[in-house]
A and B are shown apart, each in its own frame.
Chain A
Amino acid sequence: MNNKLKVLRAMRNWSQAELADRLDVSRQAVNAIETGKYDPSLPLAFKLARLFDMPIEEIFDDGSEGNGNV
């Protein structure tokens, strides 16, 4: 799943470690999400959405937009 986490983090000038602290997860978790190796759980996705004050679907893109999937 694609995501804009790295861009959003860079816009705030946060390191991976700083973002990890704000989310209360490890730096490895932030790195794995940014590089697409790990899709976060729903609670963590909501945490990210609240932190960046954006809807989840604006941060994550599952590539299904426009194909009729609900």
Chain B
Amino acid sequence: MSDTGKMSKTRRPMSPRRKRYWTALGIAAVLGGILGAWLQVDQPGNSTAGLALITNGPLTANFAIGASILWLVGMLVSMAIYHRSIDDHEERAWLWAGTAGWYVVMFAAPVWWVLHRASLAPPADAMLLFVASLIVNGVVWLWLKYR
């Protein structure tokens, strides 16, 4: 059982570790916002342009290059700060979540691939595997950190 009630009486100043932690999450959130807004502006005729990022539809070259750079640089910076600021408990959650996410790919990708070669399944979709892996990763991380 937790005692969150006691801590709510006074607002605690943030430790440097917590500041770094929320900075990392903030950078990731801002990046997501920028990508979504940019995609919306890039395809003004499409009311659900934000969803275009998770489909296999075509994108403009400008957006594709910009989004790739933002993802690589932004995630690199965000992850570097994140890993410098997490404690033992969260590091363990991160490692097990990463392992679980990898298992999704490890088990599903070869099965899908051989089934496709026998014409029993459509071609393997890397992004679908990535999303499935990400979902499992997130669920395990949340469970280990907040259960």
Contacts and interface: CB of A to CB of B under 8 A. Distances in A.
Contacts of B7: 15-18, 27
Nearest to B1: A35
A41 interface: yes
Interface stretch (B37-45, B73-81, B87-95): B87-95
Q: Interface size bucket, B side?
A: 10 to 19
A44 B90 CA distance: 13
Given A21-B12, A37-B147, A26 B90 contact: yes
Interface in B1-56: 1-4, 6-7, 12, 15, 17-18
Interface size class of A (residues with CB under 8 A): 20 to 34
The SS class assigned to the B binding surface is helix
A43 B88 CA distance: 9
B107 interface: no
Given A15-B3, A17-B12, A21-B12, A38 B87 contact: no
B102 to A, nearest CB: 22
10 contacts: A16-B3, A16-B7, A17-B7, A17-B12, A18-B6, A24-B17, A25-B89, A27-B4, A29-B88, A40-B89
